[in-house]
Copies of this chain bind each other. A is one copy, B any other.
Amino acid sequence: MAASCSDTRGAMERSIRERVPPLLTDLYQFTMAYAYWRAGRHQEPAVFELFFRDNPFSGGFSLLAGLHDCLHFLQSFRFTDEDVEFLRSVLPPATDPAFFTFLRGLDCSGVTVHSVPEGTVVFARIPVMEVAGPLAVVQLLETSLLCLVNYASLVCSNAARFRLAAGPRRRLLEMGLRRAQGPDGGLTASRYSYIGGFDMTSNVQAGFLFGIPVAGTMAHSYVTSFTSLEEVWPQTLKAANGDQVDFISLAKGWLSRVCTRLEAESVKIHEGELAAFLTYAVAYPQNFLPVIDSYSVACSGLLNFCAVALALSELGYRPVGVRLDSGDLCRQSLEVRHVFRLCSQHFSMSSFDSLIIVGTNNFSESTMSELNKKENEIDVVGVGTHLVTCTKQPSLGCVYKLVEVRGSPRMKFSEDPEKSTVPGKKAVYRLMDTEGHPFLDVVCLAVEPAPTAGNPLTYYLRGEDTSRSVTPTQVMCLRQEVFTKGQVTYSLCNAKESRAKAQSSLQTLDSKHKRLQDPDTYPVAVSEKVYMLVAEIRRGSSTNSNFLLSN
């Protein structure tokens, strides 16, 4: 049963203070903030960048998600007296009390954020979000922003991969709440799986909050709770034409005919299962879609389904389909479809031509991909654990790095070269070919003039010391201002709109970057100015002024 429903209800805004209080961060943000404050540096203008180092799932792309939550978080960022009192108990006793007064007055009115819009295709090493503002404040925001972007982007990208694996025709149901990492993980998974390309969720609260279509019918426990036809109540069903009909007798008659036609042994049929289906059909004559593997699909579930569905059809209702939840789903779906066709022909029931088969049995990206290779008749796939926990790679590994203080660039060197950062406040441009396909993202300094269509641009690929040149036909500035002076300046979309944006952003990407296995790497480059700046800082670092001799 599925229902498309209401709009976002502003509950994200209402609940963000509950979900992400400003104490939900690492202690070191506060120890650093105090040290900055003590040194009088807390108000210095600083710029941080948020990015990830590798595309998730060994893939060729990611989708940016979580921006909306970040914006609500920034807007509500404020410490209560209780928060501050707790911090006082945690920081050393010698901490200057005036620091806590400072914290109590903090908010994000001095913070400006530029970000790639929610649901945009992005790549490793692109600074997807830039957070500028007073040093102490933008430092304090780190952990919360990372937490909000990391999982949302990961699960959204995972969903997009499942969508690519499934192909455009098959409908996808997210049903991972019970296996998610906590209640909020489940809700986040439902929201961003939908944005990434799923069609429905089993999660009712996600329907309530985000307007995502919700779906679901019955569990095995429902079936096994019945043992006999005596439990069926009411025993009659009003036909579409208004007549009250003895539904049990009608279905039993159909069951006899189905068994005869299929040469099935009626002795193996579970009476409790038939009772469960009958009761369900009486409650939902328009929405009959039972799970048929509680005992045996071939020997019981499918026969009981056909009996009840034929009875419903005779009364003028359209049964919807079946769910398979164990065993070899492809093989079973073929058998089930075969029986549907037989019933349609033999009993002249056209309603059996449009029955759907739902498959739900621990689907992963690879078993989803196999559906395109193995013959099967599965119309709808439900995905839980592998989608919401992102088994292939359960963290995106977003980082948040300082790139500028007081207008001067900052760079982190590292024992591990992969962990070095790219200095300076930047702008990011996406270059498109004549067909509108993006082919190169270039990270420039913010002070550089933007690349323009028709003009050659010099760039450096990562790890290369030779420049290249390209003349784009279209240039898009990838990030936009989304927050300034304490206010959200980005037009927030509901889940449906974000989903449409994500799908259209993915559509423009060349399929070679969307291959699930061994995709072509989408090139992310730096401008000549960025390249020069890195070289200059590296030189400066290796011949650091010998301050030991000075003074």
Contacts and interface: CB of A to CB of B under 8 A. Distances in A.
Interface of A: 1, 3, 5-6, 15, 18-21, 23-32, 34-36, 38-41, 46, 48, 83, 86-87, 89-92, 94, 135, 139, 142-144, 146-148, 150-152, 155, 175, 177-189, 202-205, 207-208, 214-225, 227-229, 231-234, 249, 252, 255-256, 259, 266-271, 274, 279-280, 282-287, 293-297, 326-327, 332, 385, 388-391, 394-395, 397-398, 400-402, 405, 408, 410-416, 419, 541-549, 551
Given A6-B86, A25-B177, A26-B203, 18 more contacts: A1-B31, A18-B19, A23-B208, A29-B219, A39-B231, A48-B221, A143-B177, A147-B179, A151-B182, A182-B182, A182-B185, A220-B402, A221-B410, A228-B547, A249-B551, A268-B544, A294-B413, A326-B419
A184 B19 contact: yes
Contact of A150 (B20, B179, B203, B249): B179
Contact of A286 (B94, B215, B268, B397): B94
Nearest to A93: B286
Contact of A414 (B208, B287, B293): B293
Nearest to A1: B31
A136 B9 CA distance: 28
A545 B274 CA distance: 13
Contacts of A205: 21, 23-25
A332 B416 CA distance: 13
Q: Which 8 pairs across A and B sit closest by C-beta, in order of nearness?
A: A184-B184, A327-B415, A27-B216, A28-B216, A389-B394, A221-B402, A181-B181, A146-B178
Contacts of A178: 26, 142-143, 146-147, 150, 398
Contacts of A207: 27, 86, 90
A154 to B, nearest CB: 8
A296 B412 CA distance: 10
B202 A147 contact: no
A185 B27 contact: no
Contacts of A83: 208
Most buried by B among A83, A175, A255, A389: A389
Contacts of A274: 547
Contacts of A188: 181-182
A224 B411 contact: yes
Contact of A89 (B5, B29, B413): B5
B86 A271 contact: no
A344 B529 CA distance: 47
Contact of A225 (B46, B142, B146): B46
Given A385-B397, A394-B390, A548 B252 contact: yes
A180 B208 contact: no
18 contacts: A1-B91, A21-B205, A26-B177, A27-B202, A27-B203, A31-B216, A35-B222, A35-B279, A142-B221, A147-B179, A147-B183, A150-B180, A220-B401, A225-B410, A267-B543, A269-B544, A296-B413, A327-B414
A148 B183 contact: yes
A259 to B, nearest CB: 7
A204 B548 contact: no
A204 B25 contact: yes
Nearest to A33: B222
Contacts of A1: 27, 31, 91-92
Contacts of A214: 27, 90
A229 B4 CA distance: 62
A270 B203 contact: no
B395 A389 contact: yes
Nearest to A233: B39
Most buried by B among A142, A187, A544: A544
A3 B89 contact: yes
A185 B148 CA distance: 11
A489 B294 CA distance: 35
Given A34-B283, A287-B92, A385-B397, A271 B183 contact: no
Contacts of A150: 178-180
A284 B35 contact: yes
A89 to B, nearest CB: 6
Contacts of A327: 414-416
A111 to B, nearest CB: 16
A335 to B, nearest CB: 12
Contact of A41 (B139, B223, B231, B249): B231
A147 B177 contact: yes
A286 B92 CA distance: 8
Contacts of A177: 24-26, 143, 147
Contact of A294 (B36, B215, B280, B412): B412
Contacts of A394: 181, 385, 389-391, 394
Nearest to A90: B3
Nearest to A394: B389
Contacts of A413: 294-296
Given A151-B182, A548-B256, A24 B402 contact: no
